[in-house]
Amino acid sequence: MSYLFNKSRTAQAAVAECRFVKPGTQPYTALQAAAETDSLIGVSLQFFNPQAGQRFDFAVIGPAKLQLGAAVNDGDLLTSDANGCGITAARHAHTENIAAAYAENATTAVAPATRIGALALSAGNPGDVIDVVVLPLLA
């Protein structure tokens, strides 16, 4: 597969192939993503299964393969589950209090931002590895 733009970093911990990655806590390192709020920076390439301290490549922008953690549809925007696998990014729903039907809860906080890491190029089920376009952005 041809990749538009790859980056190489040192794995701060084990990273499985075809998973979302995030910046590590040390300079020039990366970790396997573990949440939809992680700062997703790419997708680990196939055939790379680095252990802590090993260099590995990941796709930053462009085509890649991604393992799924849930069923997705063709064209879905994807984010990371707890294992770095792709899941459909849930959009935050907001209900206006037009009728003043409920009291505002002072403890309500702003919803955490969902990070988009890729666009699904086919549908798939949990465990499937599908083609995606890597495009890290904040939703």
Q: For residue 75, what is the domain's CATH number?
A: 2.40.300.10
Q: Identify the CA nearest to 114 among candidates 21, 35, 34, 25.
A: 35
In a 3-state reduction of DSSP, which class is residue 88? strand
Q: What is the pLDDT of residues 69-79, one digit of tens each?
A: 999 999 999 99
Residue 107 lies in a domain: no
Contact by Cβ (8 Å): 21, 35: no
Residue 98 lies in a domain: no
pTM, to two decimals? 0.84
The strand pair at 5-11 and 29-32 is best described as parallel
Domain range enclosing 80: 5-90+112-138
Q: What is the pLDDT of residues 87-97, one digit of tens each?
A: 999 865 555 55
